[in-house]
Structure 1
Amino acid sequence: MPIYEYIASDPEKGCRSCRNGFELRRPADREPLEVCPLCKSPVKKVISKINTPKITKPMSVTDAKKAGFTILEKRCDGNYEKL
């Protein structure tokens, strides 16, 4: 299940939880929250950053083959040959 972030629409009217923003784990097929579960003030969904793997170095041909990728090399005639 994905984690969604919410924050109060009007920080002056929200509780401490929704003023600062909170995370909530919900199924993807559910509608986004419209009110805070604690104080019932209006909240809005925040677009948050996604988790992407960080590659610290370029993959070598052997690393790519070990990971299951097919390595192709372009030849002079425009065709690709499997390494």
Structure 2
Amino acid sequence: MPTYSYIAENPEEGCLRCRRGFDLRRPMDREPLTHCPLCRKPVKKMVTGFSTPKYTKPVSVSDAKKAGFTILEKRCDGNYEKL
């Protein structure tokens, strides 16, 4: 489930939670919030960044073989040889 960030449309009127902004996990098929769940003042959805998984090490030939991939190496004559 994605996490959405919300903040009060008018920070002077909102509660402490929506004045500072809050994050909420909601299914993608649900409509965005229009009011703070605590004080019922109008809120707007903020555009925020997202994280992606990062690989810490390059995939080696042995890791690729363990995963079931066929490893080929190109030779100088233009043919490929299976490793």
The one-letter code sitting in structure 2 at the alignment partner of 1:11 is P
Deviation string 1:30-54 (CA, Å, 9 cap, x unpaired) is: 1101111111111111222223112
3-state DSSP class of the match of 2:4?
strand
CA distance in 1 between partners of 2:63 and 2:44 (Å): 43
- Pairwise CA distance, 1:72: 5.6
Q: Which residue of 1 aligns with 2:61?
A: 61
Moved more, 3-12 or 61-70: 61-70
Q: Distance in 2 between matches of 1:28 and 1:64?
A: 34
Kindly provide the amino acid, as one letter, of the partner of residue 17 in structure 2.
Answer: S
TM-score (norm 1): 0.70
Identity %: 72
Amino acid in structure 2 at the alignment position of 1:66 = K
Matched, 1:46 2:59: no
Q: Which has the larger radius of gyration?
A: 2
For structure 2, the 5+ residue unaligned runs are: none
* 1:37 matched residue in structure 2: 37
2-side partners of 1:32 and 1:53: how far apart? 26
Match for 2:61: what amino acid? V
How far apart are residue 29 of structure 1 and its match?
0.7
Query: Measured at CA, do residues 26 and 76 of structure 1 come closer, stay the same or move farther in structure 2, by a change above 3 Å?
Result: same
My pick for the range that moved more, 30-39 or 45-54, is 45-54
